[in-house]
A and B are shown apart, each in its own frame.
Chain A
Amino acid sequence: MSRVNRICVLLLLVLSSSAWSELVIRVTQGNDKPTIVAVSPIALNGIQIKEDIGSIVEADLKRSGLFSAIPRRDMLAFPSTAKDVYYRDWRMLGTEYLVVGAMIPVDEGRYQLDFSLLNVTAQKTEFNHRVSGTKSQMRDLAHLISDKIYREITGIRGAFSTRLAYVTANRENGKYVYRLNVSDADGAREKLMLESPEPIMSPSWAPNGKELAYVSFETGRPAIFRQNLVTASRQQLTNFTGLNGAPSWSPDGKKMALVLSKDGNPEIYMLDLLSKKLTRLTRHFAIDTEPTWMPDGKHLLFTSDRGGTPQIYKLNIASKATQRLTFRGNYNARASLAPDGRTLALIHRASSTFHVASFDLVTGRLIELTETRLDESPTVAPNGAMLMYATKQGDRGVLAAVSLDAGVRYVLPAKSGDVREPAWSPFLR
């Protein structure tokens, strides 16, 4: 089976009205009143490409939950430049914004696409942009168009041009096959990074988006590796007795927080990636794991059961002082920090089910975001609008997404096997 496109993006947009959190307050309309956008098919001028760029843009915008789209069959014309647009036609359809564009070949197998965002209500061009790339980059072009439109209308940077890393586990011929994959944020263009008969876990992006760290059992025990996406070169970083886990790249990319149990129980360590110097940060007989960096690079958040149940703690790297942050419930673990530096996504147990919850570091308010019951591995998009997590549909592991205000939800089901441990990349350009 083709590895590309193994994940078929079926969108289950569950729209519900709900209060907007601080993260998206700049959006002037809630998803119960989405902005109506029309994406006219991109004029190709004879260029043959297999992707439908307009449809990709439309799907991106709809998936954000902030937009609904005018279907092509309702369009009276397919304009490709602003001067071909009869605003009245689009106003009658209820269109608020119209996207038009045309592609032409340039030299060396490159193509350029001029597109415009038109404000139908105001009858004016919001902006014109030219994007160029090769035939293999048509999806990149589409996602870049989506980013520009999303930012112009919502004021929030778009995250459509980002990637996902995730792990799949399949039983093939009676044996397990674990794969580390990278795809576009919409699940398309899945690429295999690593395949192994032994478990692969805990992918973590380098802040430049060019490398991943992860745990692989290929040596018969867990070890942390780093791997370059473009060159595929990989390096084993740890080989200690016991756990070697939960790698988390520092914001400056120079250090890695990780978990080692070589001292007898799991402790948080910091590895300097250049000097290879290892610094022990926690000293407790309890489980200390799942470190994640605060944006200042001076503090970590981690999970510890030192208080009797797993809870989120904050660690000052210089002083090694720790402070417990979560108190509601008897299971709060695996924190993932939103880019605002104050909203945490975490796994919260409530009446024996495991949900993704948001936790406000300033107010201490904890809100359950999901209704699924075996949730794991929340990862927040670099623009803070959505988070992705792993959950179960029947007995199968699937990836799902929810907005940080719980208003928008969708699922990315895999065709076969278990999908788990999504890690949303940083901004890539």
Chain B
Amino acid sequence: MIQRNKFGLSAIVLSMALAGCSSAPTDESTDIEDTSVQTGQVDTSVIDDSAIEVAMAADTVFYFDYDKALLKPESRAALLEHAASLNNNPRSVRLEGHADERGTREYNMALGERRANAAKEFLVLQGVSAGLIEVVSYGEERAASYGSNDSAWSMNRRVELK
């Protein structure tokens, strides 16, 4: 059916007239196909954040130098306390590794994992079962501090124990 608009029939008549005296010869033609985009759904499984609620006396965030995955002395001290606590009272923990925004995203995923693995290896050396520790890197995807400057970046190069 011909789509009607407010010009109604006159448009159709006009168009027929135009089609009749079609002036330009057509060398070739193209029909546009429908390729409209639809929205997907994420599974609604909620991520359990309950582990965060467990009271921990020692620092649970460990910071790193730029492009480095070396634990600083204060991080090692805090991780020693966590290792002792986990050895006395074993439970599953998550080590989430992060990078600052500089550099490429997937490379920063790898950097974040390297940092979290450094913390994991330290805990395992202190006797914590590797099976209790999950390492997840967020790369630069979850900044703790916003802004493109040294102080924000230093807050973002971190591993969080949860």
Q: How far is the CA of A230 from the CA of B37 in the complex (A)?
A: 5
Asked if B5 and A230 sit within 8 Å, CB to CB, the answer is no
Smallest CB-CB separation from A137: which chain B residue? B32
With beta carbons under 8 angstroms apart, the residue of B3, B23, B34 that contacts A137 is: B34
With A217-B141, A331-B103 already in contact, 12 other A-B pairs whose C-beta atoms are closer than 8 Å: A46-B11, A83-B24, A127-B27, A128-B26, A131-B31, A137-B34, A193-B39, A218-B43, A227-B40, A259-B106, A289-B106, A334-B107
Least CB distance from A366 to B in Å reads 16
In the assembled complex, the Cα of A421 lies from the Cα of B113 at a distance in Å of: 20
Residues in B5-32 with C-beta less than 8 Å from chain A: 5-7, 10-12, 14-15, 18-19, 22-32
Closest to B19 in A: A104
B38, A201: Cβ atoms under 8 Å?
A: no
Assess whether B40 is in contact with A104, with CB atoms less than 8 Å apart. Answer: no
CB-CB under 8 A from A105, the residues of chain B are 2-3, 11-12, 15
Q: How far is the CA of A197 from the CA of B30 in the complex (A)?
A: 41
* A-contacting residues, B35-67, CB 8 Å: 35-43, 45, 47-48
Chain A interface residues (CB < 8 Å from chain B): 45-48, 81-83, 102, 104-105, 107-109, 112, 114, 116, 125, 127-137, 140-141, 144, 176, 182, 191-196, 198-199, 201-202, 210, 216-222, 227, 229-234, 242-243, 245-246, 259, 261, 264-266, 287, 289-290, 303, 310, 331, 333-334, 347, 349, 354, 374, 376-377, 392, 395, 420-421, 428-429
Q: Which residue of A lies closest to B66 (CB)?
A: A352
Question: Which chain B residues border A231 with CB–CB below 8 Å?
Answer: 38
Contact A261–B113 (Cβ < 8 Å): yes
List A contacts of B18 (CB < 8 A): 45, 102, 104
Q: Which of A134, A182, A210, A261 contacts B110 (CB 8 A)?
A: A261
- Report which B residues bind A (CB closer than 8 A): 1-3, 5-7, 10-12, 14-15, 18-19, 22-43, 45, 47-48, 101-107, 109-111, 113-114, 117, 134-139, 141-142, 146-148
Q: Does the CB pair A219–B110 fall under 8 Å?
A: no
Q: Which residues of B contact A141 (CB under 8 A)?
A: 32
One of A194, A199, A259, A354 near B103 (C-beta < 8 A): A354
Given A105-B2, A129-B28, also A376-B39 (CB < 8 A): no
Q: How far apart are A74's CB and chain B's nearest CB, in angstroms? A: 24
CB distance from A199 to the nearest CB of B (A): 4
How many angstroms between the C-alpha atoms of A266 and B109 in the bound complex?
9
A-B interface pairs (CB < 8 A), number: 206
Q: Is the CB of A109 within 8 A of B14?
A: no
Q: Tell whether, in the assembled complex, residue B35 and residue A230 are in contact, meaning their CB atoms are under 8 Å apart.
A: yes
Name the B residues within 8 Å of A102 (CB-CB). Answer: 18
Of the candidates A108, A128, A134, A199, the one whose C-beta lies within 8 Å of that of B138 is A199
| A245 and B109 contact, CB distance less than 8 A | yes
- Chain B: which residue is nearest A334 at the CB level? B104
Take A230-B37, A289-B110 as given contacts and tell me if A218 and B42 are in contact as well, using a CB distance cutoff of 8 Å.
yes
Q: Are A287 and B32 in touch, CB under 8 angstroms?
A: no
Question: Which residues of the other chain, B, contact A131 by a CB distance below 8 angstroms?
Answer: 29-32
Please give the distance in Å from A56's CB to the nearest CB on chain B. Answer: 14
What are 20 A-B contacts with C-beta separation under 8 Å? A105-B12, A108-B1, A127-B27, A131-B29, A140-B32, A144-B32, A210-B35, A218-B42, A222-B109, A229-B35, A229-B37, A232-B38, A232-B40, A242-B137, A243-B113, A265-B114, A266-B113, A287-B114, A289-B107, A334-B107
